[in-house]
Chains A and B, each alone.
Chain A
């Protein structure tokens, strides 16, 4: 499936700012608001836009969450390859993302919990024992510097003069 220019433009804008209004998008792209609405519902219906979520700096909010990146080595199955086991792991709500990767391991799984203990237990009890899982390595995340394209440090102030010709 190939997207139209307008659809691509809308996706780019929403990827930057999911809270922008339809009328603002319409203005930016040079379209009617109704057309924007229609395209967005279509993109949602087709499952291209999956959801709209905020990028939250939990550390700054004082919210403690513990996350770990788990390298998972699995035995692929006849017919379904990696898909069946990847989908199975995906079903746990503790699992935030699952990706098939190249290299020494097969799946890269992001797991989220309240404490280190909770995350470690989850991996030991739910992931490691799965029949197709051969090996896991857990990397606890210590600090986030950039998430989803957003740099977490102090924002750099603009350095331009107010007037230049």
Chain B
């Protein structure tokens, strides 16, 4: 018999597993480590949301829901999106509740990609767009962004990559891992390109609520973009509900119908407990405000301190990540992360994980308590001192 691995589908075999799995495993197990490597809020889901979920369980809400999700939730969500972005989505047909934004992005790609069609995505970016494009039979085309542009993807850079096979562009701002955001003007330039070349946009705005300077512009709110945009968002980051696995897609009826077709066979529906909790979450603006101001305070501390320590860090205006350069150390980002973990027990994520152009940077999440944040920075300072890099002030 052949090796079992030979029986794994070609398409899946071609996708490289993460090269630093091993490092992650060590980090996961290390005692006394402070982790700046976590991509989720350190807050627990606000109590009123948890309480609403418990109440729903007591009441016996344990069944499937409509494939689209609970109508009550879709209606509340439609209102909320309208209030925040000015874009109206019909609760019936233009809004689909999914098992996290992860499922929504997979559905979006599978619903629109024909074999060999290309999807343009900017890097560094969240790790799943590339493999999911490939799973869907498409070809990911990467546009690197750089610190010189504060990791903002330029409209011209997107345009350069467009071919007759290009189907869609994935945008993910505020960005994981860089914390970069795009202004309305910068988004409008991209919208022009999208319009001109008749493309679709998958806009992952799960960090949109976590914007610290100015307000987040929803891509679908730009002139003519509602029809072209598959808007992805969810409850994980803003409401500290990562483990509930609840996201949504909003967009054109026919595309949403196509996504629903896949969703109904693959997932059936998002979990009802999460949906019941989400109805309450939409009423929890004050809690969200509180968490956002707290992230903002930590953001300032982290960025200031990293710069003081000699790790040049541009100002991230969204999400909860700082993305400092570690080039001054002469190490690769993977080496830096490994040595920092072994020497000082601080976990950071090598930028290279998020695309080749992330090399030379590390992702530091400031979704940790002030105490942990300060302790981690102290340890990083010590670590840098052993390499002869001393504090600026």
Within 8 A of A (CB), among B1-60: 24, 27-28, 30, 33, 35, 37-40, 42, 44
Nearest chain B CB to A151 CB, angstrom units: 11
Stretch at the interface among A23-31, A80-88, A113-121, A136-144: A23-31
In the bound complex, CA of A29 to CA of B126 (Å): 29
Number of A residues, CB within 8 Å of B: 17
The reply to whether A12 and B293 form a contact with Cβ atoms under 8 Å apart is yes
Stretch at the interface among B79-87, B136-144, B225-233, B300-308: B300-308
Instruction: Return the CB mask of A28-40 against B: 1 if under 8 Å, else 0.
Output: 1110000000000
The reply to whether B347 and A162 form a contact with Cβ atoms under 8 Å apart is yes
Number of B residues, CB within 8 Å of A: 27
- Inside 8 A of A9's CB, which chain B residues have their CB? 293
The reply to whether B35 and A162 form a contact with Cβ atoms under 8 Å apart is yes
Assess A163 versus B35: contact at CB under 8 Å? Given A28-B297, A30-B300. yes
Is B349's beta carbon under 8 Å from chain A? yes
The reply to whether B300 and A29 form a contact with Cβ atoms under 8 Å apart is yes
Instruction: Return the CB mask of B96-129 against A: 1 if under 8 Å, else 0.
Output: 0000000000000000000000000000001100
The reply to whether A161 and B126 form a contact with Cβ atoms under 8 Å apart is no
The reply to whether A165 and B126 form a contact with Cβ atoms under 8 Å apart is yes
- Closest partner residue, chain B, to A24 (CB atom): B301
The reply to whether A160 and B305 form a contact with Cβ atoms under 8 Å apart is no
The reply to whether A162 and B27 form a contact with Cβ atoms under 8 Å apart is yes
In the bound complex, CA of A156 to CA of B47 (Å): 14
Within 8 A of B (CB), among A121-165: 156, 158, 160-165
- Inside 8 A of A30's CB, which chain B residues have their CB? 300
Instruction: Return the CB mask of A44-60 against B: 1 if under 8 Å, else 0.
Output: 00000000000000000
- Inside 8 A of A27's CB, which chain B residues have their CB? 300-301, 304-305
Assess A160 versus B27: contact at CB under 8 Å? Given A28-B301, A29-B300, A165-B353. no
| A-side interface mostly | loop
Which residue among A12, A158, A163 has the maximum number of chain B CB atoms within 10 Å of its CB? A163
The reply to whether A162 and B300 form a contact with Cβ atoms under 8 Å apart is no
- Inside 8 A of A17's CB, which chain B residues have their CB? 370
Assess A165 versus B305: contact at CB under 8 Å? Given A28-B300, A30-B300. no
- Inside 8 A of A158's CB, which chain B residues have their CB? 42
Contact of A162 among B37, B42, B126 (CB under 8 A): B37
Assess A164 versus B293: contact at CB under 8 Å? Given A27-B301, A27-B304, A27-B305. no
Nearest chain B CB to A88 CB, angstrom units: 38
Which residue among A24, A28, A156 has the maximum number of chain B CB atoms within 10 Å of its CB? A28
Assess A162 versus B304: contact at CB under 8 Å? Given A12-B293, A28-B297, A29-B297. no
Contacts between the two chains (Cβ within 8 Å), count: 51
Is A13's beta carbon under 8 Å from chain B? yes
The reply to whether B349 and A163 form a contact with Cβ atoms under 8 Å apart is yes
- Closest partner residue, chain A, to B348 (CB atom): A163
In the bound complex, CA of A17 to CA of B38 (Å): 25
The reply to whether A164 and B30 form a contact with Cβ atoms under 8 Å apart is no
The reply to whether B305 and A162 form a contact with Cβ atoms under 8 Å apart is no
Nearest chain A CB to B370 CB, angstrom units: 8
The reply to whether B347 and A163 form a contact with Cβ atoms under 8 Å apart is yes
- Closest partner residue, chain B, to A162 (CB atom): B35
Contact of B30 among A12, A156, A161, A162 (CB under 8 A): A162
The reply to whether A165 and B127 form a contact with Cβ atoms under 8 Å apart is yes
Nearest chain A CB to B350 CB, angstrom units: 11
In the bound complex, CA of A119 to CA of B16 (Å): 72
Nearest chain A CB to B315 CB, angstrom units: 10
- Closest partner residue, chain A, to B30 (CB atom): A162
The reply to whether A163 and B27 form a contact with Cβ atoms under 8 Å apart is yes
The reply to whether B28 and A163 form a contact with Cβ atoms under 8 Å apart is yes
- Inside 8 A of B293's CB, which chain A residues have their CB? 9, 12
The reply to whether A165 and B349 form a contact with Cβ atoms under 8 Å apart is yes
Assess A164 versus B300: contact at CB under 8 Å? Given A12-B293, A27-B305. no
In the bound complex, CA of A165 to CA of B33 (Å): 17
- Inside 8 A of B349's CB, which chain A residues have their CB? 163, 165
Nearest chain B CB to A102 CB, angstrom units: 24
Assess A164 versus B297: contact at CB under 8 Å? Given A27-B304, A27-B305. no
- Closest partner residue, chain A, to B371 (CB atom): A17
In the bound complex, CA of A164 to CA of B365 (Å): 10
- Inside 8 A of B354's CB, which chain A residues have their CB? 165
Within 8 A of A (CB), among B154-185: 176
In the bound complex, CA of A164 to CA of B37 (Å): 7
**What are 13 of the A-B contact pairs (CB < 8 Å)?**
A17-B370, A27-B304, A27-B305, A29-B300, A162-B27, A162-B28, A162-B35, A164-B37, A164-B38, A165-B39, A165-B126, A165-B127, A165-B349
Give 10 closest A-B pairs by Cβ, nearest first: A28-B297, A162-B35, A164-B39, A163-B37, A163-B24, A27-B301, A162-B27, A162-B28, A165-B127, A27-B304
Given A162-B28, A163-B35, 8 more contacts at CB 8 Å? Answer: A27-B301, A29-B300, A161-B28, A163-B24, A164-B37, A164-B40, A165-B349, A165-B353
Interface residues of B (CB under 8 A from A): 24, 27-28, 30, 33, 35, 37-40, 42, 44, 126-127, 176, 293, 297-298, 300-301, 304-305, 347, 349, 353-354, 370
